[in-house]
Amino acid sequence: MSELPLPVEHECLPCFLYRVTGMQSCDGSLKLLTHYRDQCAPRATALEKKMRMLGGYCDCEVLLNAVRPATTQAMRLIEVGEDLVCKGVRRGTIQPCENWLMRRGVQWGGGRFSRRSA
Ligand SMILES: [Zn+2]
Ligand SMILES: [Zn+2]
């Protein structure tokens, strides 16, 4: 079994994915995402499904498709591959910190997933 890095205190999901996929290449699975979920937000059981709906079929695609940088500063750092300092989130949430915006179409409030009929 390969050792996966642990999320640091209050680190949000996209910051964790960004940090770890910068250290080791994506293997085409959502293993980092599920690892984060298991560590930080075990009740977010629909997380993989949610990410796939947003086009995130593996860890790096979650970063590319499901979220985008919320600030110019974050965008610049990501462009050049620099470290991003997580702004911090409360424990148990899968919401991103202020560095990121979720793509529309998924409701994140209260940790509950509700799909709107189109
Ligand atoms: Zn990938
Ligand atoms: Zn963050």
Q: 94-105 pLDDT, tens per residue?
A: 999 999 998 875
For the stretch 10-66, pLDDT in tens is: 999 999 999 999 999 899 999 999 999 999 999 999 999 999 999 999 999 999 999
| 67-104 confidence digits (pLDDT tens) | 999 999 999 999 999 999 999 999 899 999 999 998 87
Non-local CB neighbours of 1 within 8 Å, separated by 6+ positions: none
**DSSP for 62-79, written as a single string:** IIIIIEEESSHHHHHHHH
At residue 105, the pLDDT reads: 59
Boundaries of every domain in the chain:
13-101
Q: Measure 14 CA to ligand 2 centroid, in angstroms.
A: 6
Contact of 37 with 7, CB cutoff 8 Å = no
Higher pLDDT, 61 or 117: 61
Q: Please name the residues in contact with 33: beta carbons below 8 A apart, sequence gap of 6 or more.
A: 13, 17, 47, 48, 51, 56, 59, 62
Centre of ligand 2 to C-alpha 98, Å, is 7
CB under 5 Å of ion ligand 1: residues: 26, 58, 60
Distance from residue 102's CA to the centre of ligand 1 (Å)? 18
Give the largest Cα separation in the chain, rounded: 42
For the whole model, what pTM was predicted?
Answer: 0.86
pLDDT in the model for residue 54:
92
Which of 92, 76, 102, 99 lies closest to 15 in space, CA to CA?
A: 99
Helices and strands in the chain: count of H runs, count of E runs: 5, 2
Distance between CA 26 and CA 58 in Å, rounded?
Answer: 7
